[in-house]
Amino acid sequence: MLKEEPAPASGGEAASERVAKHLRAQILSGAIGPGERIRQEDIAEQFGLSRLPVREALRMLETEGLTELQANKGARVPHLSMSEVDVIYRMRESLEPLALGESLPLLDTADIERLGSIQSRIEANTDIQGFLDLDREFHLLSYSGCTVEPLSSYVVRLWNTTQHYRRAFIALSGPGRMWIVNAEHQLLLDAIVRRDVVDAGNILRGHIRRTRIELAQHPDIFGPGK
Amino acid sequence: MLKEEPAPASGGEAASERVAKHLRAQILSGAIGPGERIRQEDIAEQFGLSRLPVREALRMLETEGLTELQANKGARVPHLSMSEVDVIYRMRESLEPLALGESLPLLDTADIERLGSIQSRIEANTDIQGFLDLDREFHLLSYSGCTVEPLSSYVVRLWNTTQHYRRAFIALSGPGRMWIVNAEHQLLLDAIVRRDVVDAGNILRGHIRRTRIELAQHPDIFGPGK
DNA sequence: TAACCCGAAAATGGATCCAAAGCTAGAACT
DNA sequence: AGTTCTAGCTTTGGATCCATTTTCGGGTTA
């Protein structure tokens, strides 16, 4: 896993962004779980860089809510409490219908076909990581028409920061209630095809709300009691 | 304005945070308008520091949406378009009632008395900067009971990033319609005293919505047409 | 005259080295 | 034996120096 070469000519883009991209993937994949510490020197060594671009990268990720930096105490992946995840979901219940409303009129038929194809793959899917990736792709694609900042990036941020807890939730609850997700996605997809912003927004809001409530029934996912 | 002393023993806190605090104040006060560039070396010289803690500070402010950093192109205060400010206000219409709902049950009578006193000062106030400061203090105090992240910090962020446009709007529209703000604040305050979360949320939502619509009637505040 | 190209100055990104703050483990004292 | 204080190590924060990229100005040419 060690790259001993001194950054092989790089890809032309900034080194700190490469590091950020790598760490982002690590965190989203669950390879770095919440609460886990990230030592600058370790990462620097892995990439054959100094600690400076690593610090930059950690700051960039802090912007996205994926890391938190305390002075003289280092960087960690934030450990969210149940009440924090609960509030994030309630924020999503407002913001994602807003993003969808911005996005829907700008989606073309090719986008919508891709949405349908992703949903087919979700229904055929079996493993957890596969579902997480496809579900994320489905929803974020439905928002892809919304390019206005900071809404679009913040929606992604809320997804990113709760990724780990979604994984834990699905692993715990099993595939028993997966049919509900598919039913909701089907309704959402139909509303999108009909270009019905109001319908789509309501279904989406309910989809997120239901997930929030089911999540709240698994307090064991979150670290200490709180 | 130059501080030639090499950081006089500092205040004990990290140098980068002192720089961040200074720049934040500069941006919020309007001393550094949107679109304006921030050269690392200038700031470093002002504080008698190297450019490194300045870069850190700029990253911290990027986290708050007050600056944007492009690789090899430097830092600027972001220049928001009208559609971006419009979306920010629509985000606020959802998020601030949510924050108020979290906050209201936790406010004590001393807090509510302070809210009343601030509102009195708003009504007695005459100048623009005074109104901006007091209005900000009023609303943020009403959310002070909400400590759950990332909601509380994001509400502040949305306020910060639109501060400049609020100032420009008030300067342009004059004190003619200031009475509406006071009426809305009075209604909001009464709902808070009655601990009526629903009422307070509705009034607040309307307050923000009205501001958004009036703002949209002054496209000249924003730079290019877009 | 206007457009284009090239070179120098300026500003940023990154590496190395040093200082300071936190954490940990061991010893001494109550 | 438990607690506390101290000494050392580890890790991060900051300064200085170098490399790279961008930008801006002057000069040339169509």
Examine the domain organization and report whether B119 and B209 are in the same domain. yes
Could you tell me if B159 and B204 lie in one domain?
Answer: yes
pLDDT at B97 over 60: yes
* pLDDT number for residue A189: 97
Asked, for residue A192, whether it belongs to a domain, the answer is yes
Residue type, A208: I
Last residue of a domain, one of B60, B76, B92: B76
pLDDT at A8: 34
Parent domain of A62:
15-76
Nearest CA in chain B to A59: B59
- Round to whole Å and give the CA distance between B182 and A47: 57
Q: Are residues B68 and B90 in the same domain?
A: no
pLDDT of residue B135: 96
Domain membership flag for residue B3:
no
Question: In terms of Cα–Cα distance, which of A169, A102, A105, A97 is closest to A132?
Answer: A169
**Can you tell me the distance from the alpha carbon of B58 to that of B64, in angstroms, rounded to the nearest whole number?**
10
Give this prediction's pTM: 0.89
pLDDT at B224 over 60: no
Q: How far: B72 CA to C5 C1' (Å)?
A: 23
Distance spanning both ends of chain A, measured CA to CA: 38
- CB of A94 within 8 Å of a chain B CB? The answer is yes
Residue B2 domain-assigned (yes or no): no
Q: Could you give the 3-state DSSP secondary structure of residue B74?
A: strand
In chain A, residues with a C-beta closer than 8 Å to the C-beta of B88 are: 150-151
User: Using one digit for the tens of pLDDT, what is the confidence trace for B141-164?
Assistant: 999 999 998 999 999 999 999 999
Nucleotide nearest to B39 (CA to C1'): C11
Contact indicator for B141, B112 with CB cutoff of 8 Å:
no
Q: How many CA atoms lie within 13 A of A1 on its CB side?
A: 5
Residues B104 and B179 in one domain: yes
Is residue B223 very low, low, confident or very high in pLDDT (cuts 50, 70, 90)? low
Residue A4 domain-assigned (yes or no)? no
> Cβ of residue A11 near strand C, that is under 7 Å?
no
Task: Inform me whether the pLDDT recorded for B87 exceeds 70.
Answer: yes
Give the separation between CA A79 and CA A47, rounded to whole angstroms: 26
Residue with structure tokens 């100048």?
Answer: B127
Strand order of the β-sheet with B74-76 is B37-38, B74-76, B68-70
User: How does the average pLDDT of chain B come out, rounded?
Assistant: 89
Which pLDDT score is estimated for A13? 64
Cβ of B203 < 7 Å from strand C?
no
* Three-state DSSP state, A88: helix
Would an 8 Å CB–CB cutoff place A102 in contact with chain B? yes
Task: Tell me which residue in B59, B71, B88 faces A150 most closely, judged by beta carbons.
Answer: B88
Same domain, B150 and B72: no
User: Is residue A2 in some structural domain?
Assistant: no
CATH code at position A56: 1.10.10.10
Nucleotide nearest to A55 (CA to C1'): D12
How far is it, in rounded angstroms, from Cα A86 to Cα A92?
A: 10
* Cβ–Cβ contact B106 with A under 8 A: no
Residue B5 pLDDT greater than 50, yes or no? no
Residue A173: per-residue pLDDT: 83
Protein residue closest via CA to C1' of D15: B50
Could you list the pLDDT tens digit for every one of the 226 residues in chain A? 333 333 333 334 688 999 999 999 999 999 999 989 999 999 999 999 999 999 989 998 998 899 999 888 889 999 999 999 999 999 999 999 999 999 999 999 999 999 999 999 999 998 888 999 999 999 999 999 999 989 999 999 999 999 999 999 998 887 888 899 999 999 999 999 999 999 999 999 999 999 999 999 999 888 654 3
B102 and B213 part of one domain: yes
The domain spanning residue A132 has which CATH number?
A: 1.20.120.530
**pLDDT by residue (tens digit) across B22-37?**
999 999 999 999 988 9
- What is the average per-residue pLDDT within B120-129? 92
Retrieve residue A23's tokens: 């760490």
CB of residue A13 closer than 7 A to nucleic acid strand D? Answer: no
Q: From the CA atom positions of chain A, what is the Rg in Å?
A: 19
- Residue A183: count of CB within 10 angstroms of its CB: 12
The reply to whether B52 falls in a domain is: yes
Q: Do B30 and B137 have their domain in common?
A: no
- Extract the runs of DSSP E, i.e. beta strands, from chain B: 37-38, 68-70, 74-76
Chosen domain end from A61, A76, A91: A76
Q: Which of residues 167-186 of B touch A (CB under 8 A)?
A: none
- For residues A40 and A107, state if they share a domain: no
- Residue of B151, B2, B5 lying closest to A154 (CA atoms): B151
Establish if A175 belongs to a structural domain: yes
Residues B89 and B72 grouped into a single domain: no
Could you tell me if B112 and B150 lie in one domain?
yes
Is residue A5 a part of any domain in this protein? no
- State whether residue B56 sits within 8 Å of chain A by CB: yes
Number of domains in chain B: 2
Choose the final residue of a domain: A52, A76, A100. Answer: A76
H helix or E strand, kind and range, residue B14? none
| CA B58 – CA B69 distance, rounded (Å) | 8
Write b or e for each residue in A169-182: b if 16 or more Cβ atoms lie within 10 A of its Cβ, otherwise e.
Answer: bbeeeeeeebeebe
Tell me: do B47 and B134 sit in the same domain.
Answer: no
Regarding whether A134 and A62 lie in a shared domain, the answer is no
Average pLDDT over residues B36-43: 90
